[in-house]
Amino acid sequence: MKFGASTFIWVSPFSNATLDLIDRVKALGFDFLEICIEDPATIDVDAIRRRLERAHLGVAICGAFGPNRDISADNAETRAAGVAYIRRCVEIAAALGSDIVAGPMYSATGKTRLLAPEARAAQWHLAVENMQRAADHAATRGVRLAVETLNRFETDLINTVAQGVAFVDDIGRPNVGLLLDTFHMNIEEKDLPAALRHAGRNLFHFHACANDRGTPGEDHLPWPAIAEALRDIGYTGAVAIESFTPEVKEIARAVSIWRKLATDQDTLARNGLAFLRHVLG
């Protein structure tokens, strides 16, 4: 396995002003940096690629899906904007050497509605149809799409691994799988190891996160059983720590971080990495 850290641990958004984070993450001992493309306009592909190459650090790409990037929205223009954004993330990933774009790309994060079954089915159909379009484009660039299941407080569409697998099956593209995050799974899954086994070959990317979004290992999650499940399904891919800094107020508010989760963000990353290498490596 390769172990990485999300840019969200320290900054938002990632840009040329925060390129030093690449060297910082390398010095902490990580194998890759997971860059969230909050605003494609802040992403200088050439500058990022040069710094990654100089640091000998890998990269993964994830997306941020707000209401203007919702591929299952009622509004056709919004859906088109969502597909265009995923395509842009794919282009950035291909240019930087990442074979993955991950995130809850089926809807807008924070969209929670009580819908009639017919309306929910229509939303699901729109998401499937537009994911197929995005996947076909990604396939031409050698990029896989990892769809993230989120907890019930962040989306009303796909909360569980079973729902995620059904969604991937309906899309029917070999380059579409799942991103599973132990923070969300801890809320939604009755049995985390069983859920990972159900995901099986569909697991493309993995977020190893504490139940409070703090330091992995400083929590109540069944890490040895999680490690065994990952071995059972033959998962040898990327494992990223995703946490958030309370110093960026907008992001902290969005993910409900109301207090410091560690002494500092470097300590969170360093201790989390040491634990994950021990239990998963």
Element (H, E) at 49: helix 45-55
Residue 251: pLDDT band (50, 70, 90) is: confident
Q: Tokens 């994060």 sit at which residue?
A: 109
Q: Tokens 């769809």 sit at which residue?
A: 147
pLDDT per position as a tens digit, 97-125: 999 999 999 999 999 999 999 999 999 99
Task: Write down how long the chain is.
Answer: 281
Please determine, for residue 196, whether its predicted confidence score (pLDDT) is greater than 90.
Answer: yes
DSSP one-letter string for 191-216: -HHHHHHHHGGGEEEEE---TTSS-T
Q: pTM above the 0.95 mark? A: yes
Residue 103 contacts residue 65 (beta carbons within 8 Å): yes
Range of the domain at 47: 2-279
pLDDT per position as a tens digit, 210-220: 999 999 999 99
Please determine, for residue 249, whether its predicted confidence score (pLDDT) is greater than 90.
Answer: no
- Residue 18's domain is classified under what CATH number? 3.20.20.150
Element (H, E) at 182: helix 182-188
Q: What's the mean pLDDT in 53-78? A: 98
Q: Tokens 């200088």 sit at which residue?
A: 44
What is the average pLDDT score of the chain? 97
Write out the catalytic residue numbers: 148, 242
Determine the Cα angle at 248 with ends 244 and 253, to 5°. 75
- Identify which of 63, 67, 86 has the alpha carbon closest to the alpha carbon of residue 75: 67
Q: How far apart are CA 133 and CA 121, in angstroms?
A: 19
Total number of domains in the chain? 1
Percent of the chain topping pLDDT 90: 94
Phi-psi region of 66 (alpha: psi -120 to 50; beta: other; left: phi over 0): beta
